[in-house]
Amino acid sequence: MSLPSDIAFILDPARPVLTHARSMQAETGVLPHAHPRGQLLWAKQGVLRVTSEQAVWVVPSTHGVWIPGNCNHQVSCETLVETRNLYIDPTYPVRDQDTQVVMVAMTALMREIVLRLNDSPKCSGDASTARLGLVAIDELNSLSAADLSLPAGTDPRLRRIISHMVSHPDTRHILGELASLAGASVRTLERLFKSETGLTFRQWRTRFKLMNALEALDRGESSTAVAYTVGYKSTSSFVAAFKAEFGYTPQVHARRL
Amino acid sequence: MSLPSDIAFILDPARPVLTHARSMQAETGVLPHAHPRGQLLWAKQGVLRVTSEQAVWVVPSTHGVWIPGNCNHQVSCETLVETRNLYIDPTYPVRDQDTQVVMVAMTALMREIVLRLNDSPKCSGDASTARLGLVAIDELNSLSAADLSLPAGTDPRLRRIISHMVSHPDTRHILGELASLAGASVRTLERLFKSETGLTFRQWRTRFKLMNALEALDRGESSTAVAYTVGYKSTSSFVAAFKAEFGYTPQVHARRL
DNA sequence: CAATAAATAGCGATAATGCGACAATGTCGC
DNA sequence: GCGACATTGTCGCATTATCGCTATTTATTG
């Protein structure tokens, strides 16, 4: 864990939208801190764990996290991660409805905008980059809070289990086996999942798998491949679970991209 | 073929950027016409054939076509096609360097912008759509012309063949021989070339040779030498192919440098 | 157009889970 | 030492997601 040494640049008042890209190793992170600028935190690669005062989320690359200005937050990496951030000047009206940290679903447009802004030379004060920044703010405002978030909890036993699952996404995890790993009984873990994340273990596991599935589908993998890489033993059960959650089948989703 | 019945809406002077989406059957098309607005013609799905007064292009979804205002053009569909167009008010400074129809390489950002603009309700005069329109114009201006593009495709079999051709540029490649290399039938490869690159195998091969030829000519080689180094067995057939593609002979091109 | 592969849907069997009830143990204040 | 309260584990039973399989539909290939 490290304190961010580069908070300073966030304060540049001349530019409404700033970017920051960084590559982070697994298990590393940034200690709790806050800054006046609002921040869109996103990893184009890897899985983040974001902790606010209210909640903790596990965040794959299909999603991002909006951190309003002056909101305390902490970030750590479940895996090797490539972050691409946006920092918005507080004088701009961004997501006024959100007073707290919130997980959002990234759109394809938002992804491309963030990538482009991060690729533009830092000091580029040119007009077209500025216009793109304005659109970034528009899009940021229209991002909807994630309908499929993955709350993480703080209990050490729970964290051990979740980090184990994140690092073995292709396995079929059984609560009984995880219990010995966590040093707690199955019943206690059931209670922990419910109280800390609001979800039962099964719900949590299903969401976890389906979020991984969304990522793989975005990359263009087949339903069969996805089913196995996210830990189902048969394609049909994956398709069934997917449809039960979203209302449409995996390939219908893929075609929408 | 049909005359576009909906040119009228293109004339709306109130909006700098208009959109038009349409689904077209294979073998259908639009008769030659022109309009004051500049147009970015793009198919998110399928292969277009665009004819201007200067040239004809085959356009897969990786590319688009910029049609300056009042330029005569004609469109037909090689396959089932989903077009997503942008029409830009002529008072905006868009690609002033282009006086003629030009094929451009789409960027991921441009794709998403066009899709978003097309999805926005037609009559949405809201500010954020307007800002996105401005960015569309910026991005449009920065798209690079690709008049002799060599789209590569993503299919692994296709890639194997292309990489083989690239590493043996001086050979006369026969599809039948390449087929065994790729592990697919000749018919499948024909389909792959068409669907992934928008070109038939022969078109692709010719372009490939001619691009190599341009490079060699730039180095000052003679027509005879170039003909052999890019895989033609006679100078005359090379000169003929070159003239068919560009409209002038190799040495005329060389003298222009 | 026929053959093949991939995606989806259906279904019975079953192991895994959810959860209420209750007992055991730990924590805290006094 | 004792009561109040929270945490944890054990047991039983109802519920269900997933498996393993087959069938059907859809897309791709020769």
Instruction: Calculate helix-pair angle for B108-119, A108-119, nearest 10 degrees.
Output: 140
B78 Cα distance to chain centroid: 13
pLDDT band, residue B2 (cuts 50/70/90):
low
CA angle A92, A97, A102 (to 5 degrees): 95
User: How many CB pairs (< 8 A) connect A and B?
Assistant: 35
How far apart are alpha carbons B121 and A45 in whole angstroms? 33
Q: Is residue B68 one of the residues assigned to a domain?
A: yes
How do residues A184-229 score in pLDDT, each as one tens digit? 889 999 999 999 999 999 999 999 999 999 989 988 889 999 999 9
Q: Are residues A15 and A116 in the same domain?
A: yes
Residues of B in contact with A107 (CB under 8 A): 112
Compare all CA atoms of chain A with the CA of B115 and give the residue at the minimum distance: A109
- At residue A204, the pLDDT reads 95
How far apart are alpha carbons A133 and A74 in whole angstroms? 25
Q: Is residue A151 one of the residues assigned to a domain?
A: no
Q: Indicate the residue of B115, B135, B142 with minimum beta-carbon distance to A135.
A: B135
- Contacts within 8 Å (CB) and 24+ apart, B200-209: B201/B175, B203/B58, B204/B150, B205/B165, B205/B173, B206/B241, B206/B245, B207/B148, B207/B150, B207/B245, B208/B150, B208/B165, B208/B166, B208/B169, B209/B169, B209/B241
Q: Are residues A136 and A170 in the same domain?
A: no
Through-space separation of residue A206 CA and nucleotide D12 C1' in angstroms: 26
Most B CBs within 10 Å: which of A94, A106, A128, as the mutation test of the B interface? Answer: A128
Residue B68 burial (10 A CB sphere; 0-12, 13-18, 19+): buried
Q: Is residue A41 one of the residues assigned to a domain?
A: yes
* Partner-chain contact A108 B112, CB within 8 Å: yes
Q: Which nucleotide is nearest to B157 (CA to C1')?
A: D29
Strand D close to A174 by CB, under 7 A? no
pLDDT over 90 at A42, yes or no? yes
Q: Is residue B16 one of the residues assigned to a domain?
A: yes
Q: Is residue A22 one of the residues assigned to a domain?
A: yes
Furthest-apart CA atoms within chain B: distance in Å: 62
Which range is least confidently modeled, A62-66, A128-132, B29-33, B180-184? B180-184
Query: Total structural domains in chain B?
Result: 2
Q: Are residues A37 and A99 in the same domain?
A: yes
Residues A18-37, mean pLDDT to the nearest whole number? 91
How do residues A234-250 score in pLDDT, each as one tens digit? 999 999 999 999 999 99
- For strand D, the positions having any atom within 7 A of a protein Cβ are 8-11, 17-22, 29-30
Residues A84-100, mean pLDDT to the nearest whole number? 91
pLDDT band, residue A68 (cuts 50/70/90):
very high
pLDDT band, residue B90 (cuts 50/70/90):
confident
Q: Which nucleotide is nearest to A178 (CA to C1')?
A: C16
pLDDT over 80 at A83, yes or no? yes
The residue among B79, B111, B142 that closes a domain is B142
Which range is least confidently modeled, A157-161, A171-175, B149-153? B149-153
Work out the percent of chain A whose per-residue pLDDT is above 90: 62
Work out the percent of chain A whose per-residue pLDDT is above 70: 93
| Average pLDDT, rounded, for chain A | 89
pLDDT band, residue B238 (cuts 50/70/90):
very high
How do residues B58-82 score in pLDDT, each as one tens digit? 888 888 999 999 899 999 887 788 8
- At residue A190, the pLDDT reads 94
Q: Are residues B69 and B183 in the same domain?
A: no
Q: Indicate the residue of A108, A131, A142 with minimum beta-carbon distance to B131.
A: A131
Compare all CA atoms of chain A with the CA of B139 and give the residue at the minimum distance: A128
* Partner-chain contact A113 B109, CB within 8 Å: yes
Determine the residue type at B94.
Answer: V
- At residue A210, the pLDDT reads 94
Q: Are residues A136 and A175 in the same domain?
A: no
Strand D close to B187 by CB, under 7 A? yes
Distance from CA of B210 to the nearest CA of A (A): 33
Q: Are residues A129 and A49 in the same domain?
A: yes
How do residues B109-150 score in pLDDT, each as one tens digit? 999 999 999 988 765 568 889 999 999 999 999 998 876 677
How far apart are alpha carbons A164 and A61 in whole angstroms? 19
- At residue A115, the pLDDT reads 96
The residue among B111, B142, B173 that closes a domain is B142
Bigger pLDDT: B152 or A141? Answer: A141
Q: Are residues A26 and A90 in the same domain?
A: yes
Q: Is residue A1 one of the residues assigned to a domain?
A: no
Q: Are residues A12 and A109 in the same domain?
A: yes
- At residue B12, the pLDDT reads 60
How far apart are alpha carbons A188 and A183 in whole angstroms? 10
pLDDT over 90 at B244, yes or no? no
| CATH label of the domain that carries residue B29 | 2.60.120.810
Q: Is residue B130 one of the residues assigned to a domain?
A: yes
Distance from CA of B175 to the nearest CA of A (A): 28
How do residues A5-27 score in pLDDT, each as one tens digit? 555 445 555 678 999 999 999 88
Task: Give me the domain span that covers residue A203.
Answer: 156-256
| Closest residue (CA to C1') to nucleotide D27 in the complex | A251
Residues B208-212, mean pLDDT to the nearest whole number? 86
Through-space separation of residue A187 CA and nucleotide C21 C1' in angstroms: 13
* Partner-chain contact A113 B108, CB within 8 Å: no
Which range is least confidently modeled, A179-183, B13-17, B197-201? B13-17
| CATH label of the domain that carries residue A249 | 1.10.10.60
| Average pLDDT, rounded, for chain B | 85
Q: Are residues B126 and B102 in the same domain?
A: yes
Q: Indicate the residue of B109, B128, B138 with minimum beta-carbon distance to A138.
A: B128
Residues of A in contact with B135 (CB under 8 A): 128, 131-132, 135
Q: Are residues B120 and B161 in the same domain?
A: no
Q: Is residue B101 one of the residues assigned to a domain?
A: yes
| Closest residue (CA to C1') to nucleotide C15 in the complex | A174
Which range is least confidently modeled, A91-95, A132-136, A169-173, B144-148? B144-148
Q: Are residues A12 and A113 in the same domain?
A: yes
pLDDT over 70 at B10, yes or no? no
- At residue B61, the pLDDT reads 83
pLDDT band, residue B1 (cuts 50/70/90):
low
Most A CBs within 10 Å: which of B84, B120, B128, B196, as the mutation test of the A interface? Answer: B128
Distance from CA of A82 to the nearest CA of B (A): 19
pLDDT over 80 at A112, yes or no? yes
The residue among B107, B142, B177 that closes a domain is B142
How do residues A145-164 score in pLDDT, each as one tens digit? 987 888 988 889 999 999 99
Strand D close to A232 by CB, under 7 A? yes
Q: Are residues B27 and B137 in the same domain?
A: yes
Compare all CA atoms of chain A with the CA of B126 and give the residue at the minimum distance: A138
